[in-house]
Amino acid sequence: MSASAGAQTLAEKILGRASGVEHVVPGEIVEGRVDLAMMHEQGAQTVGPFQQMGADRVWDPSRVVIAIDHWVPASTEGAAVMHRILRKFAAQYDLPHLYDVGHHGICHQVLAEDGWVVPGDLAVGTDSHTNMLGAVGAVASGVGPTEMAAVLALGRLWLKVPPSIHVRVSGELGEGVVGKDLILRAVGEVTTSGAAYKAVEFSGPTIRALSMSDRFTVCNMTTEMGAKCGMIAPDEKTFDYLRATAKHAMHPVAPDPGATYERVIDIDVDGMPPMVACPYSPDNVRPLPDVAKEHVKVDQVFLGSCTNARIEDLRQAAKMMKGLKVHKGVRYIVSPASSAIYQQCLHEGIIDIFTEAGAVFTNSSCSACFGGNMGILAPDEVCASSSNRNFPGRMGPKEARIYLMSPTATVATAVKGEIADPRELL
């Protein structure tokens, strides 16, 4: 794409604002002022470095969120110790925004639903899927525990300005095809290393038509491209979503016409079927109908994770599941992304629909996604999942096989007992 003098991408605009300069270029090191810092259990590893560097206070307690989410409630002694470290840290440094057991959720989801990240922000978190928050038009990225210690002490972070990949999406998603299918296709094209330390910026009429829930799904899985951040420029949907919840002032920016992108990818979704990522990589993507013809039997199905366990996902899945039964011999685990979503499911009868069908509806947590809590697989088992990763060992043993798909595809698969096209149940 031809460049205009001074024209900048969305990521460059935000990092320029955060570092207090008018113009930045890829490869430049900037010192960015952080708008929001988030820690989950891995943040327990931040406490030691924070204290060792001699810090005696957190730079801005109002801008720090701690979310206990992976092991909820604690399922191992190690998890209990991590939780205790975070509770003591929050108390010692007067950090009021602790999402503890009972008022909790997957860290990225509680940041999204409670308005902690807004357009134009620079947000960092101790989890690789912090990219998800880029859906509001922010630079949101995962950092390590020692980097987070510096952020907590100083409120600033050195960053290398990433080059940007522009993904332009056109066409209309067909019936039974959702944002998860779009991002699976994009990951298949970019590959798991194709966006390493790059910003991935999405635009086009299809992106503008997506709900905020689907936009979060799309940006979430830019992590599976290796991206530093995934982003969608804010629009009226973004502002409507945040208007009642935004915790601080928005400072929206848009990419400049003529900005320089390292790569431009055009995707036309007209006629695109549901997609599935097959073992053992999120970029091993195929049309789901083709995989369905192979009659892949499943042992477990998981509807959950920060990628696809929002209320919109669970409503769509419950609507499809109503009156049906989970196939004999299949374990269907449904885990909402936050305790607020759990309550909403309770009020709307969604929990009844799933449990009457033979599914297990759990409390909010990362659940089966990461292979460290409930829903761990046996070595020879197959799981269909609405989550984001299917690398060897993701759900426990490296031999287990995981297929990634949309929430409604998990319903069709749970009912049929094998990988199935959700459009069969529409």
The pLDDT tens digits of the residues spanning 357-384 come to 999 999 999 999 998 889 999 999 999 9
pLDDT-derived band at 300 (thresholds 50, 70, 90) equals: very high
CA dihedral 16→22→24→28, nearest 10 degrees, is -80
What's the CATH class of domain 10-267? alpha beta
Q: Where in the chain is the domain with CATH 3.30.499.10?
A: 10-267, 275-419
3 pLDDT higher than 70: no
Rounded to an integer, the average pLDDT of 57-71 is 97
Rounded to an integer, the average pLDDT of 205-222 is 98
Taking the C-alpha atoms of residue 311 and residue 8, their distance in angstroms, rounded to an integer, is 35
Correct CATH for 275-419 of 3.30.360.10, 3.30.499.10, 3.40.50.300, 3.40.50.720? 3.30.499.10
Rounded to an integer, the average pLDDT of 394-411 is 97
244: exposed, middle or buried (Cβ count in 10 Å: 0-12, 13-18, 19+): exposed
426 pLDDT higher than 90: no
**23-62 burial, b for 16+ CB within 10 Å, e for fewer?**
ebebeeebebebbbbbbbbbbbbbbebbeeeebeebbeee
18-45 pLDDT, tens per residue? Answer: 999 999 999 999 999 999 999 999 889 9
Q: What is the pLDDT of residue 42?
A: 87
- Residue type for position 244: A
Q: Residue 73's closest CA among 84, 63, 65, 62?
A: 84
230-246 pLDDT, tens per residue? Answer: 999 999 999 999 999 99
213 pLDDT higher than 90: yes
pLDDT-derived band at 5 (thresholds 50, 70, 90) equals: low
Taking the C-alpha atoms of residue 187 and residue 194, their distance in angstroms, rounded to an integer, is 9
Taking the C-alpha atoms of residue 59 and residue 21, their distance in angstroms, rounded to an integer, is 22
Rounded to an integer, the average pLDDT of 262-275 is 98
| 261: Cβ contacts below 8 Å, ≥ 6 apart | 1, 9, 163, 164, 165, 166, 201
104-137 pLDDT, tens per residue? Answer: 999 999 999 999 999 999 999 999 999 999 999 9
141-184 pLDDT, tens per residue? Answer: 999 999 999 999 999 999 999 999 999 999 999 999 999 999 99
- Residue type for position 139: V
Cα three-residue angle 412-416-419, rounded to 5 degrees: 65
Q: 168 with 265: CB under 8 angstroms?
A: yes
Neighbours of 260 (CB within 10 A): 18
Q: Which residues does residue 67 pair with via DSSP β-bridges, in sequence order? A: 99
Percent of the chain with pLDDT over 70: 99
Q: 110 with 365: CB under 8 angstroms?
A: no
pTM comes to 0.96
Taking the C-alpha atoms of residue 196 and residue 327, their distance in angstroms, rounded to an integer, is 40
- Residue type for position 184: L
How much of the chain is helix, strand and coil, in % rounded to 5?
35, 20, 45
Q: Containing H/E element for 160?
A: strand 156-160
Taking the C-alpha atoms of residue 176 and residue 4, their distance in angstroms, rounded to an integer, is 40
87: exposed, middle or buried (Cβ count in 10 Å: 0-12, 13-18, 19+): middle
pLDDT-derived band at 2 (thresholds 50, 70, 90) equals: very low
Token digits of residue 315: 């409503």
Q: Give the chain's mean pLDDT.
A: 96
4 pLDDT higher than 70: no
Neighbours of 153 (CB within 10 A): 18
